[in-house]
Amino acid sequence: MENIIEIRNLVKKFGDRAVLDGISFEIPAGKTTVIMGGSGCGKSTLLRHLVALHVPTEGEIWIDGENIVGMGEKEMNQVRRKFGMLFQSAALFNSMTVGENVALPLREHTDLPNEIIQIIVKVKLELVGLTGFENFMPHEISGGMKKRVALARAIALDPKIVFYDEPGAGLDPITASMIDRLMIDLSRKLKITSVCVTHEMKSAFRIADKIIILHKGKVLQIGTSEEIQNSTNPYVRQFISGEPEGAIPLKQTSDAYLKGLLET
Amino acid sequence: MRLFFGKVGETTATFFAGVSRLYALFAEVTGGIVASFYEKKVVRTPHVFRQIVLMGVDSLGIICLVGAAVGMVLALQAGYQLKEFGATLYTGSLVAVSITRELGPLVAAIVITGRVGARVAAELGTMKVQEEVDALATMGLNPVRYLVIPRCLALVIILPCLTVLADVMGMIGGFLIGTLGMGINTYLYVSVSFDALVFKDIYTGLVKSVIFAMLIALVSCHQGLSVTGGADGVGKSTTQAVVISIILVIVMDCVATAVFYYALPS
């Protein structure tokens, strides 16, 4: 299986504190990979490194055969055209209509005439099940719809990879599973590699071909859905069961908290 | 004592760090504008026009009002003082010179800081908080080129225009008070006004307004893009954008006046 993303020994320090502490893994092409972990384990930070919003302290990030660490802005913008990103808050531009939001990457990165752009916008909106919503403003549609528009925008340039930051956050279970299904559909129909950051187990097991679990800035376990579900690691077990008691303490004394901070 | 010097040192460090960040933004903006001559899609003309409408056209009313009011106050105060020397006639020249040299550019800049600077900082700050700025970056669109340059260009174009308007309205305000209120002969008022005015008065005022425009745009955009946190951060940055802009405008006004009228040969 070919890997489209490879991360080698990624370290990110904010001050003295290492948020990511020597992370290495591969993401296979055309599959859905889920990065999981509790709040504050560094999974969002990791995702922001993958899309070059953060610069790592150490390590390499290879995307489609190119190391993006230390890359100039022009080359990076070329790499950025290979991926789209769905933000947690959807991040639609509020001053533009739904159609204009989806059209933006096409207008900025291609020289296509307006008629063609309009057709592509229609096709992309249809893919996410929002036919005829071009002229709505972002504040006129619901949260789930916003996520779907953001997804249409992320795939506007037919990227090889789509990154999802907590796609189900703030949505009801039905809408969240609808987004999951869209994700699977896109992977199958368009052969898109999906990389999804989430802490929702149900959704993760539903969509993932490969699961990476992070804990305190390190990779705790990598495996398929079944392997993770049958894991014997106490942290992973507690994470799956969602029990408050276990290897990961919920309540901490301030001493233990400080010690934990110093360790990471 | 140690605390005091620590505080002073910290504030100085923050000040210079801020200046260097503003300068970096300025360099990036000018770099982008230069690049627009040989690269496609660096500056989006429709965006610049949109900002011109939002910043300039929508500010016409308030600039007229404030400009006229300042002219009137100036004429009232000058007339009162000049009466002592029997020189009421020269109210016109005093109003004309002080408005074009100083008050027109300054008043326009301060009104625009409150109206446009705050708007820009709040808008960009909200975009930052809602991850829209990150979304731009991941789409391969440079936020400085996409968001900051159109706003800087629009303000640099529009503020000198608004300054001319403030100048004219100020002189009209002074004229009304001078002729109707103090009974100065209309023809005399106009002729002393124009006798006193020289071309340098007007162009130094306009050069100043270009500098003010750049300062306001850079400070507001910088404050907007450096928002952290949520609504609280946006509020703080908006206030700071206005306060810092006004301080810088007044300090810069001082420096520019000193340079134009003392350092440069007339």
Tens-digit pLDDT profile for residues B132-187: 999 999 988 889 989 999 999 999 999 999 999 999 999 999 999 999 988 889 99
pLDDT value of residue B169: 95
The distance of B261 to chain A (nearest Cα, Å) reads 44
* Best to test chain B binding among A48, A68, A79, A87 (most B CBs inside 10 Å): A87
pLDDT at A73 over 80: yes
Percent of chain A with pLDDT over 70: 92
- Does pLDDT of B48 surpass 80? yes
A58-63 and A3-14 beta bridge pairing: antiparallel
What Rg value do the Cα atoms of chain A yield, rounded? 19
Contact, B170 vs B104, CB < 8 A? yes
Residue A264, pLDDT > 60, answer no
Residue B88 above 90 pLDDT? no
Say what the pLDDT of residue A217 is: 84
Percent of chain B predicted with pLDDT > 90:
65
Band (B52; pLDDT cuts 50, 70, 90): very high
Identify the CA nearest to B208 among candidates B99, B119, B114. B99
Q: Is B139 helix (H, G, I), strand (E, B) or coil?
A: coil
The reported pLDDT for the residue numbered A244 is: 73
- Residue B238 pLDDT: 94
CA A80 → CA A15, A140, A161, A165, B208, distances in Å? 28, 30, 10, 16, 41
Is the pLDDT at B200 greater than 60? The verdict is yes
User: Which tokens sit at A58?
Assistant: 């150490």
Provide the pLDDT for residue A39.
77
Per residue, what are the HEC states of chain A?
A: CCEEEEEEEEEEEECCEEEEEEEEEEEECCCEEEEECCCCCCHHHHHHHHCCCCCCCEEEEEECCEECCCCCHHHHHHHHCCEEEECCCCCCCCCCCHHHHHHHHHHHHCCCCHHHHHHHHHHHHHHCCCCCCCCCCHHHCCHHHHHHHHHHHHCCCCCCEEEEECCCCCCCHHHHHHHHHHHHHHHHHHCCEEEEEECCHHHHHHHCCEEEEEECCEEEEEECHHHHHCCCCHHHHHHHHCCCCCCCCCCCCHHHHHHHHHHC
User: Which band of pLDDT confidence, cut at 50, 70 and 90, is reported for residue A65?
Assistant: confident
The per-residue pLDDT for A190 is 82
Residue A110 to residue A81: CA distance in whole angstroms: 11
CA A145 to CA B114: how far, in whole Å?
A: 36
Q: What is the pLDDT of residue A248?
A: 66
The reported pLDDT for the residue numbered A240 is: 80
Residue whose C-alpha is closest to residue B161's, from B218, B112, B219, B195? B112
pTM to 2 decimal places = 0.85
- Give residue B179's pLDDT: 92
Q: State the Cα–Cα distance between residues A197 and A199, nearest whole angstrom.
A: 7
Contacts A53 to B, Cβ<8 Å: 134, 137-138
A83 touches chain B (CB under 8 A): yes
Q: What is the pLDDT of residue A257?
A: 63
Sign of CA dihedral B47, B244, B260, B30: negative
Q: What is the pLDDT of residues A115-131, one digit of tens each?
A: 999 999 999 999 888 88
pLDDT at position B222: 94
A116: Cβ contacts below 8 Å, ≥ 6 apart: none
Q: Indicate the pLDDT class of residue A176, thresholds 50, 70 and 90.
A: confident
Would you call B140 and A80 a contact, using CB atoms and an 8 Å cutoff? yes
Sequence-distant (≥ 6) Cβ neighbours of residue A153 within 8 angstroms: A84, A92, A101, A102, A104, A105, A124
Residue B138: its chain A contacts at CB < 8 A?
A: 51-53, 80, 83-85
Write out chain B residues lying below 8 Å of A167, CB-based: none
Q: What is the model's pLDDT at position A90? A: 87
Cα–Cα distance for residue pair B145/B167, rounded to 1 Å:
33
> pLDDT tens, A222-245?
988 888 888 888 888 887 877 776
Q: How far is A227 from chain B (nearest CA, A)?
A: 33
Which residues, at least 6 apart from B134, have a Cβ–Cβ distance to it below 8 Å? A48, A53, A87, A91
Distances (CA, A) of B138 to A123, A206, B70: 22, 27, 48
Of A93, A243, A79, the residue nearest A163 (C-alpha):
A79
Rounded Cα distance, A98 and A137, in Å: 6
Contact B41 A108 (CB under 8 A): yes
pLDDT tens per residue across span B212-239: 999 999 999 999 999 988 889 999 999 9
* Contact flag B140-A104 (C-beta cutoff 8 Å): no
Residues of B with CB below 8 A from A195's CB?
none
Residue A177 banded pLDDT, cuts 50, 70, 90: confident
Gap from B255 CA to chain A (nearest CA, Å)? 37
Nearest beta carbon to residue A87 from set B41, B131, B141: B131
Which amino acid, residue B259? V
The Cα–Cα gap between A207 and A181 comes to: 8
CA distance B142 to chain A (A): 9
Cα separation of B101 and B256, whole Å? 11
In this prediction, residue A250 has a pLDDT band, given cuts at 50, 70 and 90, of low
| pLDDT surpassing 70 at residue B266 | no
pLDDT of residue A252: 57
Q: What is the average pLDDT value for chain B, to the nearest integer?
A: 91
ipTM greater than 0.85, yes or no? no
Which residue of A lies nearest to B128 if distances are taken between CA atoms? A91
Q: How far apart are CA B255 and CA A251, in angstroms?
A: 59
- pLDDT at position B241, please? 94
Q: Rounded to a whole number, what is the distance in Å from the CA of B173 to chain A's nearest CA?
A: 39
